[in-house]
Amino acid sequence: MILIADITGYTRFLSVTDVEHANFVIANLFSAMLDESPSDLKVMEVEGDALFCWIPREEGGFGIDRFIDLVHHQFARFIGVQRWFTEVRGSECGCRACVNVGGLKIKFILHYGQAGSYRIANFEKIAGLDVIVAHRLMKNSVPEEEYVLMTDAIEPGPVSQGSQWKWCEGEDNYPIIGRISYKYLRLNRGLVHDVIVPPFVDEIDSLTHRL
């Protein structure tokens, strides 16, 4: 199972923010999202504005509700830390990072498939067509700012059968790969109310002093 968390608005955020401060904010957002993650969740890499994770196949397949719960957990922690920067730190800081971090949005891609692994020096990588598919799906025609997209390679099971979540259907056509069908669910940040202290909060004052 491949999970990609992709931040939108990242380029604009960098264009109005000191790069060191901007990267510090992003590091706190991603680190908070990974807190309390399942033990079998593997972080393959952080690709600037995207977090690329995967989970090996379980015996008997996947329970998709588990992954939807993981997405909602990461979404809530992203917003909680975002609010801390804008509502708590921003009131006393006023820097461009704290002021503009509220404009960042996030979307999630879920795809299931096969991949091979290889190692370069101390870095383990996975590769394969399904890895490419997951990355291509970061560019799609979903008419929402924040959502989770799940390809039809994943059997949704009870998620689409009488659950509280209302899934919409979509598809896009990609060169070489062809047409990919998927379901997507809008994520509602209005349902998230917590403010979460960033993992590296003790380093903020020293960073601000250097800037």
Task: Count CB atoms within 10 A of the CB of residue 100.
Answer: 21
The CATH architecture to which 2-193 belongs is: 2-Layer Sandwich (3.30)
pLDDT value for 137: 96
- Comparing CA positions, the residue from 22, 64, 77 lying closest to residue 192 is 77
Starting at the earlier edge strand, list the strands of the sheet with 42-46. Answer: 42-46, 50-54, 2-8, 105-111, 147-151, 178-186, 168-174
Please state, in angstroms and rounded to a whole number, the distance separating the CA atoms of residues 158 and 24: 39
What is the pTM (predicted TM-score) of this model? Answer: 0.88
Closest CA to 189 of 92, 111, 99, 79: 79
pLDDT tens-digit series, residues 161-181? 445 668 899 999 999 999 999
Instruction: Quick: pLDDT tens for 94-133.
Output: 678 888 899 999 999 999 988 887 888 877 778 899 999 9
